[in-house]
Amino acid sequence: MANGKPRIVIVGGGFGGIKLAKLFAKENVDVTIVDRHNFHLFQPLLYQVSTSVLSTDEIAYPIRAFFRDNKNVELFMAKAQGVDQARNVLLTNHGEVPYDYLILAAGATTNFFGMKSVEQHSYGMKTIQEALTIRNHVLHEFERASKPNEVTPAERKKILTFVVVGGGPTGIEEAGAISELIEIQKKEFHNLDFNDVSVTLIEATGHVLPMMTEDLQEETVRVLKNKGVNVMLNTQVVDYDGDILKLKSGAEIPTKTVIWAAGVRAVDFIGKCGGECIRDGRIKVDENLMVTGAVNRNVFAIGDCACFMHGDMKRPLPTVAPVATQQAALAHKNIMKLIKGQTDLGNFVYKDLGAMATIGRGKAVVNKPKMTGFMAWCAWMFVHLLRLAGAHANFTVAIKWSWNLFSGTRLGRLITSIKLD
Amino acid sequence: MANGKPRIVIVGGGFGGIKLAKLFAKENVDVTIVDRHNFHLFQPLLYQVSTSVLSTDEIAYPIRAFFRDNKNVELFMAKAQGVDQARNVLLTNHGEVPYDYLILAAGATTNFFGMKSVEQHSYGMKTIQEALTIRNHVLHEFERASKPNEVTPAERKKILTFVVVGGGPTGIEEAGAISELIEIQKKEFHNLDFNDVSVTLIEATGHVLPMMTEDLQEETVRVLKNKGVNVMLNTQVVDYDGDILKLKSGAEIPTKTVIWAAGVRAVDFIGKCGGECIRDGRIKVDENLMVTGAVNRNVFAIGDCACFMHGDMKRPLPTVAPVATQQAALAHKNIMKLIKGQTDLGNFVYKDLGAMATIGRGKAVVNKPKMTGFMAWCAWMFVHLLRLAGAHANFTVAIKWSWNLFSGTRLGRLITSIKLD
C-alpha cells in the first residue's frame, strides 16, 4: 500500500482478468494487469482467424483501451514467472511486481498429454500467432499443391489432408470451418483435383461435444459428415513425426497438417505460485476462490487456471469464459471484504449458462435452450457479437459474417509469413 | 502455345499486374500471374496498417479471388529470379515458367541509396510484414517506456523518439499518422510523461511532396507542425547504427525508430531480365512499353519497375498506381495486336490524374483540383475506398475511418509478434 491504496495485481487479461479489473477500477485501489500481450483475446473465435474468416484485430482488443477512463488501472506487459508469497511479490521477466492482493487469471495452454512428437509437429490453437500460423500453412499447402511439377501425386494427397484432433467445441468448429474453406478454394483453384483434399476429425472418446446431450452430439456428427468431414470417434493418436500420424489401432494417416485441439492445461507459471496443482496444472482453490494454503490469505485464482471442485462428483469446472467471469465477480467481492477487514467471504456457486458450438456457416448446436441449425447459429452469432470487445468490432464482424453467409467467400485468405525459399 | 492458346505470363500482382490480368482474362489466352504473395496489396494504405488504423486483410486481397470466374487465369506463387529471353522462359525459385508474352510488373522496393547501416537498422515500409513490424515495434516501445524501472530517463526519451525519413506522400502520411497515434496513447498510458515523446520528419530537399505546388507543400508542413511533428527540411541522413541517427550537418538524433520512406528502386529481379536498367534499377522500355532490345519482341514492362522516358525533359514517370494501370491498358492492346499479327503498336501517353496525400484524420492535400483540409480528406477517402479491392473491405474500412474520425481511437494497436524478453 505504497500510497495508501491497496495494490491489486491481476495476472492475465482474459475474460476473467478483464472482468475483475473492470470491477476493481471503480474501487479505491490501484490495479495492475500483468499480461504477455497488450491485448485481450476473444479466444472462442480464434478458429475463425485460423480459417481466414476474421482478422486479428477483430478478436483482439487493446487491454489499455478498456481502462482509458480508469487512471487507477495500468497494464504491465510481461511474462509472469512465479510468486513469492512470503514477500507478496509477483516475479516476471521484467522484474518484481509487489501486491497486496494477487489474482491468478492466467488461463490455459494446449495439452499434448506428454506426447513430445505431437507437440513438436502439430499446430496448437491458443494464441493469435498460432492461429495465423495455421492460416498461413493451410493456404500455402494449396498453393504448393497447385503447382504442376512441385510435388508427386502421393505428396499432393498428403499436403491436402487436414487433420483436426479433439471433438470439443474448438475441434468441431475448426473442422467445420476448414471444410467450408475448401469449398471456397474449389472455386478458385481451377487446375487442382479436389478429390485429393480431405478433412478428418479425430476424437478419442465415443462422442463429440461432451457437454451436450446425446442427440445434439449425433446431430453435430451428422452435419460434419454432410460437410465432407471424415469423423473418427474412439480413435487415439499415439505419434506424429510431421509426415505420418500414427493411431493406437496401428493405422497411419499421411499428413502435413495436424491441428491439436484435444485438451488444455494450465500455463507453466501456475506451478510456480506456491499452491497445490492437479494433474492438468490447475491450481487448487477453496470455496472462496483463495489458493489453497495461501500464506498471507491474499492470493486467489479464477478461470481456466483454477481448480474449483464442483458438484456432487467434485469435478473441476469446464474451462469456459462464463466460469471465469462468474469467479471474477466473487473474487472481487471477497477481496473487497478482506480490504474492509470483513471475514465472511462468499462461496462460489457455478451457474451453468449452457454451451454452444458452430459447425460452420449457418449451422450450430446450443444446449440451453436446445436448438440446432440456423436458429442455433443466429443465437450463437448474437451471443458472440454481444460479448466481443469494442462496438467497432461488432460492426465489422457482423458484416463479415453476413458477407460470408451470403457470398460464401473469405477475404482473409492471405499468406503473410511463409518463408519463400 | 501448348494448347494453341498464347501463354501470357505477368510478373507481379500489383495495380498494373492485376489490371493486365483482368484485361487478358477476357481474351482467348492463358494467363499466369507470378507473385511471391498470394494477395494483391493496396500499398497506398500500408501506412495505416503500420499505425494501427487498418488490419492487413483490409488492404490485401487474395489474387485468385479476382479471377474466380476466369478459368484461363492462374496464380503461380513463386519468387521470380530472372528471364531467359532466348528460350522464352521466366526463371523462378519453383522452376521455369514458359511464356509467349511476358510482362514485367514486379514493382519497387525500398531504396537505401547504398547506405548499408541505414538499411540494416531502419524500417522499410513496402510489405505487409514490414508494416506489421513497425506497428509491433512502435507499440512495444510505449510498453517498455511505461515500466517504472525498465529504462533510464535518457533511454526512455530515445525509445520514444520516432523518426520518419522522406517527405513524399508515404513519409508525410506516416509522420501524421504516428503523431495521431501518440494522441491516442496519451489517453491510455496514465503514468507516462509524454514530454518524452516526439515525431520527426526528415527530408533531404527543401520541400515536401515534390509533385505538389508550393502552396500545398507549405500547407502540408504547417499542418504537420500543428500536429507536433518536428519537420526538418534540407536535412540529409548519413548513418544510423540502431541507436544514433547521424545527419550530414553533424547533428545526431538518439532514436530506436527510423522509418525509411525516402525512395524506391526496382526489385533486384528486374536486373536479371536481359534488359537495360537505369540507376534505380528500372528497366528501359520503348514507346510501345516493350523492353528495349527484347530478343523476341515479346517482353514488356509496366509500372514502378519500368523506365518510360516522359515529356520534354525525358524523365522517368512517377512510381504511382495510375501510371501502372494506364500502361497495363496499352500493354494489353499491343500484345493482342502482336498475337493477331498486326505491327502498328500504340505509343504510351501518360495522363496525369493528379496527386493526393492525407496528413492525418480529416486533413489532406489534393492537387487536381486543388483542395486542402477536410474537403480534400473526403476526396482522398472517396478515391481510396473506390479503388480498394472487394466491396467487403470498402464497408469495413469506411466504418473504421468514420470510427477513427469521430471517436479518435485505433483498435488495431496490437503487439502480435515481439519477442518477450
CB contact under 8 A, B36 and A403: no
Residues A188 and A236 in one domain: yes
Residue of chain B whose alpha carbon sits nearest to that of A415:
B38
State pTM to two decimals: 0.93
Distance, in angstroms, between A224 CA and closest chain B CA? 26
Q: So which residues of B are the catalytic ones? A: 173
Strand order in the sheet with A299-301: A73-77, A30-35, A7-11, A101-104, A299-301
Residues A252 and A294 in one domain: no
Which one of A216, A245, A262 terminates a domain? A262
CB contact under 8 A, B399 and A399: yes
Report the residue from A77, A414, A421 with minimal CB separation from B57. A414
Amino acid at A223: V
The set of cell numbers assigned to B26 is 477476357
pLDDT of residue B395 exceeding 70: no
Domain presence at residue B402: no
Q: How many CB pairs under 8 A join A and B?
A: 147
Q: Which of B150, B414, B417, B421 is the best mutation test for A, with the most CBs of A within 10 A? A: B414
Residues B257 and B154 in one domain: yes
The set of cell numbers assigned to B347 is 505509343
At residue B271, the pLDDT reads 97
pLDDT greater at residue A148 or residue A103: A103
Q: So which residues of A are the catalytic ones? A: 173
Q: Which of A51, A52, A77, A192 is the best mutation test for B, with the most CBs of B within 10 A? A: A77
Residues B150 and B226 in one domain: yes
The set of cell numbers assigned to A368 is 440451453
Residues B128 and B247 in one domain: yes
Radius of gyration of chain B, Cα coordinates, nearest whole angstrom:
22
Residue of chain B whose alpha carbon sits nearest to that of A147:
B76
Q: What is the pLDDT of residues B27-48, one digit of tens each?
A: 999 999 999 999 999 999 999 9
* CA–CA separation, A69 and B359 (whole Å): 28
Residue of chain B whose alpha carbon sits nearest to that of A64:
B188
CB contact under 8 A, A409 and B65: yes
pLDDT of residue A80 exceeding 90: yes
Domain presence at residue B60: no
Domain presence at residue A403: no
Enumerate the residues of chain A whose CB falls inside 8 A of the CB of residue B95. 147, 149-150
Residues A148 and A172 in one domain: yes
Report the residue from A65, A129, A400 with minimal CB separation from B188. A65
Average pLDDT over residues A291-296: 95
CB contact under 8 A, A93 and B420: yes
At residue A420, the pLDDT reads 40
Distance, in angstroms, between A342 CA and closest chain B CA? 32
Residues A288 and A322 in one domain: yes
Residues A87 and A201 in one domain: no
Q: What is the pLDDT of residues B225-274, one digit of tens each?
A: 999 999 999 999 999 999 999 999 999 999 999 999 999 999 999 999 99
Q: Residue A219 is part of a domain; what is its CATH number?
A: 3.50.50.100
* CA–CA separation, A129 and B418 (whole Å): 11
Mean pLDDT over each residue of chain B, to the nearest integer: 92
Q: What are phi and psi of A8, to 5 degrees?
A: -100, 125
CB contact under 8 A, B392 and A413: no
At residue B361, the pLDDT reads 76
Domain presence at residue A351: no
Q: Which of A30, A185, A190 is the best mutation test for B, with the most CBs of B within 10 A? A: A190
CB contact under 8 A, B93 and A420: yes
Of A37-51, B170-184, B188-202, B398-412, minimum mean pLDDT range: B398-412
DSSP calls for B219-249: HHHHHHHHTTEEEE-S--EEEE-SSEEEETT
Q: Residue A273 is part of a domain; what is its CATH number?
A: 3.50.50.60
ipTM of the complex: 0.91
The set of cell numbers assigned to B326 is 494506364
Domain presence at residue B124: yes
Residues A284 and A245 in one domain: no
Enumerate the residues of chain A whose CB falls inside 8 A of the CB of residue B93. 420-421
CB contact under 8 A, B146 and A75: yes
| Chain mean position to CA A351 | 21
Mean pLDDT over each residue of chain A, to the nearest integer: 92
CB contact under 8 A, A77 and B143: yes
Q: What is the pLDDT of residues A332-377, one digit of tens each?
A: 999 999 999 999 999 999 998 888 888 877 889 998 888 898 888 8
Report the residue from A75, A128, A415 with minimal CB separation from B38. A415
Distance, in angstroms, between B207 CA and closest chain A CA? 36
- Angle in degrees, 0-180, between the axes of helices A15-25 and A321-339, rounded to the nearest 10: 30
* CA–CA separation, A291 and B301 (whole Å): 68
Report the residue from A190, A413, A417 with minimal CB separation from B62. A413
The answer to whether the CB of A278 falls within 8 A of the CB of A316 is: yes
Q: Sorting pLDDT into bands at 50, 70 and 90, what band is A23?
A: very high
Enumerate the residues of chain B whose CB falls inside 8 A of the CB of residue A129. 416-417
Residue A121: which of A252, A245, A262 has the closest Cα? Answer: A245
Domain presence at residue A401: no
Q: What is the pLDDT of residues B167-196, one digit of tens each?
A: 999 999 999 999 999 999 999 999 899 999
CB contact under 8 A, A411 and B390: yes
Report the residue from B77, B392, B421 with minimal CB separation from A400. B392
pLDDT of residue A94 exceeding 90: yes
CB contact under 8 A, A420 and B36: yes
Residue of chain A whose alpha carbon sits nearest to that of B36:
A420
Residues A90 and A163 in one domain: no
Q: What is the pLDDT of residues A132-179, one digit of tens each?
A: 999 999 999 999 999 988 899 999 999 999 999 999 999 999 999 999
At residue B72, the pLDDT reads 97
The answer to whether the CB of B306 falls within 8 A of the CB of B327 is: yes
What DSSP element (H or E) covers B119? helix B116-121
- The residues near B298 (Cβ < 8 Å, ≥ 6 apart) are B88, B99, B100, B101, B102, B338
Q: Sorting pLDDT into bands at 50, 70 and 90, what band is B393?
A: low
Kindly provide the residue ranges of all beta strands, DSSP E only, lying in A187-345, ordered along the sequence.
198-202, 229-232, 237-240, 244-247, 252-254, 257-260, 264-266, 283-284, 299-301, 306-307, 309-310, 315-316
Report the residue from A149, A396, A413 with minimal CB separation from B396. A396
Kindly provide the residue ranges of all beta strands, DSSP E only, lying in B22-130, ordered along the sequence.
30-35, 39-41, 60-62, 73-77, 80-84, 89-92, 95-98, 101-104, 108-110
Residue of chain B whose alpha carbon sits nearest to that of A76:
B147
CB contact under 8 A, B129 and A416: yes
pLDDT of residue B292 exceeding 70: yes
Which one of A319, A339, A359 terminates a domain? A339
The percent of residues above 90 in pLDDT, for chain B, comes to 77
Give the β-pairing of B252-254 and B101-104. unpaired
Q: Sorting pLDDT into bands at 50, 70 and 90, what band is A314?
A: confident
CB contact under 8 A, B62 and A188: yes
Q: Sorting pLDDT into bands at 50, 70 and 90, what band is A398?
A: confident
Provide the residue range defining the domain that includes B304: 7-36+78-110+264-339
At residue A421, the pLDDT reads 38
Amino acid at A109: T
Of A89-98, B272-281, B371-380, B407-416, minimum mean pLDDT range: B407-416
At residue A408, the pLDDT reads 64
Q: Which of A37, A63, A414 is the best mutation test for B, with the most CBs of B within 10 A? A: A414
pLDDT winner (highest mean) among A237-241, A404-408, B317-321: A237-241
Q: Sorting pLDDT into bands at 50, 70 and 90, what band is A409?
A: low
Residues A309 and A180 in one domain: no
CB contact under 8 A, A416 and B56: yes
Report the residue from B58, B73, B76 with minimal CB separation from A147. B76
At residue A385, the pLDDT reads 81
Enumerate the residues of chain B whose CB falls inside 8 A of the CB of residue A400. 392, 396
Enumerate the residues of chain B whose CB falls inside 8 A of the CB of residue A189. 64
Report the residue from B58, B75, B190 with minimal CB separation from A71. B190
The percent of residues above 70 in pLDDT, for chain A, comes to 94
Domain presence at residue B411: no
Residues B145 and B230 in one domain: yes
Enumerate the residues of chain A whose CB falls inside 8 A of the CB of residue B403. 392
CB contact under 8 A, B71 and A190: yes
CB contact under 8 A, B188 and A57: no
Amino acid at A386: L
**Count of domains for chain A:** 2
Of B128-132, B328-332, B361-365, minimum mean pLDDT range: B361-365
Which one of A234, A262, A290 terminates a domain? A262
pLDDT of residue B162 exceeding 70: yes
At residue A14, the pLDDT reads 96
Enumerate the residues of chain A whose CB falls inside 8 A of the CB of residue B411. 57, 61-62, 65, 390, 392-393
Domain presence at residue A416: no
